[in-house]
Homo-oligomer: A and B are copies of this chain.
Amino acid sequence: MKIPLYQQIKDKIIAMIDIMEPNASIPSERDFTDHFQASRMTVRKAINELVDEGYLYRDANRGTFVSDKRLIKKNSLLTPEFDKHTILYFDVKASCGEDVSLKLNISRDTSVVRFIRILSKDNINIALEEVYIARNQLTDDAFNDLPKLENFNAFFNRGSASFTVIPMLVPIKYANLLGVKLETPILSIESIIYKNDGSPLVYIKSFNHPVYRLIEITD
């Protein structure tokens, strides 16, 4: 398991700037070239990735600086913050509903794995997720590991995800689970994880606590 040089440099720079003040300047690329005994292009690759991720920012002709921590990029749609998930249902259906058939681009008589789970944090239920995956997209091993899988972004490693945010009143059947009154406005999020070839792989419909499940994106 060889770790590329630029990745090692990234890790060292992250550790270095972690104890620096925002807007402090970091050494120049040429200084790093000496310090890390690497070529300038390799140092640049490390720094460029940190700039893309929001850890650093550049001012052309002036230097490279430490970002305010608030500006580090995040996407809470992609990586919801929870510390426990509880599965309410897990089943394999011989057919699927029309919405699932459309979202996963499969026929109604395709076998589909479905489960419903609660995401919680600090013992507060923050979201309820309905997850659908066509059975034939899963190896037997993946199928067996599914209930243990916390984050479906594993599927997203070699693909993309799209999200649509929809305002609605809390569904009656989920009001109690989310601990909110009837008629409370909440966010529903429809997520589809696609493979690189464009075929949909996972369809997730979530219902989110209006206060404790904060949707925040920094870009």
Q: A residues touching B (Cβ–Cβ < 8 Å)?
A: 22-23, 41, 52, 54, 57, 59, 65, 67-68, 70-71, 73, 75, 77-78, 159-169, 185-187, 194, 196-198, 210, 214-219
Contacts and interface: CB of A to CB of B under 8 A. Distances in A.
28 contacts: A23-B196, A54-B160, A68-B198, A70-B198, A71-B160, A71-B162, A71-B198, A73-B160, A75-B219, A161-B219, A162-B216, A162-B217, A162-B219, A163-B216, A163-B218, A163-B219, A164-B215, A164-B216, A165-B165, A165-B187, A166-B210, A167-B186, A167-B187, A167-B210, A168-B185, A185-B185, A187-B187, A217-B217
A214 B41 contact: no
Given A75-B219, A169-B185, A196 B67 contact: yes
Contacts of A52: 52
- Among A59, A71, A77, which residue has the most Cβ atoms of chain B within 10 A? A71
B162 A70 contact: yes
Nearest to A190: B216
A56 to B, nearest CB: 10
A214 B165 CA distance: 7
Contacts of A78: 219
B185 A68 contact: no
Contacts of A77: 217, 219
Contacts of A219: 75, 77-78, 160-163
Nearest to A72: B160
